[in-house]
A and B are shown apart, each in its own frame.
Chain A
């Protein structure tokens, strides 16, 4: 009967109990939240470009804001939403907000009520209108190109949109001087194809980190003029508006988790390589 070979230290290490890894992840997330490291955040050109566009528009310009995400992407996109909205408010631009995801409107409503507490003069119907959710994605976008108040006869709060002062000068997608879309799925593609490209509106995209790579072809083709990518992008925008928020405070945690995964992959690969080399040597020596 063959003798069962005892696994080596390396083999045992490569089969490390996943609970140890989970514990390390918890520590990597929690410790920097308790004791921030204050790592510097450098602003990328993609984020700077969106900030500059909003900043350089003449006061009172029309901006369309699409918040197409739900609570699953809230940690990344909600700080982005608040930072972009606050920037628009400070610059006194007009803003229409639409949501193409059914579970998103209440998140936007929450952001609006938080911002209204800070900016009491920022009025619904005059400075902004929150149009809420409408079923249909592509068709909604196409319909916004025709007539916004017909697509959304009532806003999220149940008020008729047609008599709103903001709608008088902003009743078609082409009336927007700029658009920012915050996307957790593929509705961003539809905004580009059926909305902004058809009417020649410059657009900036705020997306989850996992989606950011998909948007680089649009950036290079000038179909979007900037990308706010994931929590990092949100933290960069918070830095630009000079108001560190949730994204900034979470950046240290994200840094630590990335570093942990980086080390785990490197270590596992080195150990696996040593293990394979040892086994080959043993096989050659006929052990």
Chain B
């Protein structure tokens, strides 16, 4: 008899990504829960296979080969709870973002109120928001109708109005949806699911109007009053529809759903669960980037004006390292990609390389030069994704007690970006290009450059890209997930020190002195990037002190003020970045980039071939 999910001692978890299916084995050992083996295989949602479980089985088979533990029976099926505890596993779990993930359209009345709450509900549920349509978005009706028809979402979330307030505006948005008559992405006979989470008084009328073209599911209002947000019911409805409508229409997902007693979780929702838990426990502000083949998700946890920690997530649906690589090229522009290169390459050659990665997404760099090309694209994808995230991670300072109509005006004037890079404590990188960078310093530099980190920031990576796996595992065993997270998942890289200072300081000027556990460790100079390594490169906790050498230098405590912080170092030690923010133009030459790589031990003559 199989143990209940929470009592399972061997758990096999897959994350079915758009490019690769990653399988991890978690085992309860004498020293607690550990991640023990890993296997991966190309995701098989494409023709000719068109069955996600084939890639899943291939990933299982790789673990079976490496571990020597029999996981599959003669028919190739996963062995669950065999009598012999040395074979099979107790539990199988999975997350998924294959098939383009969950794609949603959000429709609301006021962009900065109901629509914004709806976006947070959708993003928090792991969706990609294809567009957010509001009554006040400045578009004409016909433009909204055309846009709604074009996006072909999996689910629509319709919101608007406070409970008991005027119904007319949200009903009007329902009318626009009827006019557009949107079709579901999968299954042309399927009625598009529309979740209504607006003014409760308008629910019946909205249901009658929309019932002609869609399947309407009514849940509680996301903004029952102006100063309250209630996104959990909408989020739960999204999860349910994700499983019943979206997953079941993806190739092979019916079989996948039948393999686990626990619902398959959208990958971003799983990662978000882990990031929020980590930020709450460590009491740090956290930024986490999960850069995949098709999309880049950014998660952040920062305090709001009242000091309450707010978790946010954004999905940049078309920024990624394989399927979406050509879109990074289009959005960033070729010159922004080329500026990071430490060697010369013809623009045409670079463009063709990025396009070829797009059409053959599972290929990998074989040469150092090609690896550098991919890592420059990553910098730009991170830069664009962070800008997108900042625009969505908005705090509302409602003054605590202001209610009613006055609050509407306050909300537009007191919205502020929650993400403050100078106050960021920890940045965590996840996704193949960061987790599997052959050299950990490469991952650190991609995040330092791409995010343009400021002040003092600890850098870490998800060791082998296991945040999604831990997220779904935490739903059945929170303690086990936490043990694996701290022991096997989070790899501290080092600490970046990147002050902001007066543009008038000439290149090479000393701008700050750095002390580690009260001992002199180095200086920061304008325009230079250097590394302070420590013998062995092992993880160490200590006291970092940065003393400005000039009154204009800000390291996070204000101009000219020294900063003392307890931090954790890893293989990359201290990275001292004197490029100012925004980065100075002369940082973007081939020689400057080559010099930076040389300073950090990353340059190789093979890159010029």
Q: Are A and B co-members of a single complex?
A: no
Residues of B within 8 A of A (CB): none
